[in-house]
Amino acid sequence: MTVGTEETRLIVVRGNSASGKSSVAAGLRARFGRNHYGTMLADLVREHRGVSRCYYLDVPLTETLVRHATKGDAAYLSHVTDDHLRDWYRERGLLPGGLETVIDASSALADTVTRIMRESRLDGIAAIDR
């Protein structure tokens, strides 16, 4: 299977919590634009032979700010401020084509995980590493 063309870019940014992944992604989006990856994700889902599920966590800005404030890393909180979150926040920033299932802020963490496990059929597969 080949996905993409010579003109496309697949960028994976990994790191520990609070290492700056979200800040790097926001910087890339700010410089290049935020609407350039919808087609790539749709192509990736279409070409994937296994189960593919996409989710959008629809959390209002006010709740996002509350959740952000609960992070225990003071250095991170001083680096990524509420003003940053306000600048980055896009209300209902869904991908085109109805690719994502929307999960709203009323869904508890355990319920969200259970739902994704069930809908992706991960709940029927033995875990590899716990």
> 2, 121, 126: which is closest to 53 by C-alpha?
121
For residue 6, what pLDDT band results from cuts at 50, 70 and 90? confident
According to the model, what pLDDT value does residue 115 have? 94
Q: What does the pLDDT look like over 29-55, one tens digit per residue?
A: 777 766 667 777 888 888 888 889 999
> 44, 42, 58, 72: which is closest to 112 by C-alpha?
58
Looking at residue 104, what DSSP letter applies?
E
Q: What does the pLDDT look like over 76-114, one tens digit per residue?
A: 888 888 998 888 888 888 888 888 999 999 999 899 999
- Each domain of the chain, given as residue ranges in start order, spans 21-124
The tokens describing 40, both together, are 């790539």
Distance, CA of 130 to CA of 128 (rounded, Å): 7
Q: Judge whether residue 1 has pLDDT over 70.
A: no
This model's pTM is above 0.85: no
Mean pLDDT, to the nearest integer, of 108-122? 92
For residues 99 and 5, the model is more confident at: 99
Could you tell me if 105 and 63 are in contact, meaning their C-beta atoms sit under 8 angstroms apart? yes
Cross-strand partners of 55? 101
φ/ψ of 93, rounded to 5, equals: -80, 60
Q: Judge whether residue 129 has pLDDT over 90.
A: no
For residue 19, what pLDDT band results from cuts at 50, 70 and 90? low
